[in-house]
Amino acid sequence: MSTGTLPPIATTTTTTTVVVTTTTVPKYYKIQSGDTLRKIAKSFGVDTKELMALNHITNPDHIEAGQVIRIPPPKQVANTLPSTTSSTTTTTAG
């Protein structure tokens, strides 16, 4: 029987993570009594300042029930880059 050392066995695995959003955001929203821009922005996952800019609103406290505003698409953070993990296993005979 030989008592030599076997060469290392190297294995590499690759995984890809894709984030899929299933929320549908309307392009327009009709302001209801009691709504605030901050509340609307939070419910749609958008920034209040972006909502104001898109609708040319200079005073966030001056919106009216029945007013129709445009809703920007929400910011999406997705990790679509593959991550690679390598490992080496050494086996010895003996």
Give ∠ CA 28-33-37 in degrees, rounded to 5: 55
- pLDDT string in tens for the chain (94-residue length): 566 777 777 777 777 766 656 566 568 999 999 999 999 999 999 999 999 999 999 999 999 999 999 999 877 655 555 555 555 555 555 5
All structural domains of the chain: 20-73 (3.10.350.10)
> How far is residue 78's CA from residue 32's CA, in Å, rounded to a whole number?
32
Q: Does the predicted model carry a pTM greater than 0.75?
A: no
DSSP labels, 29-92:
EEPPTT--HHHHHHHHT--HHHHHHHTT-S-TT---TT-EEE-PPPP-----S-EEEEEEE--B
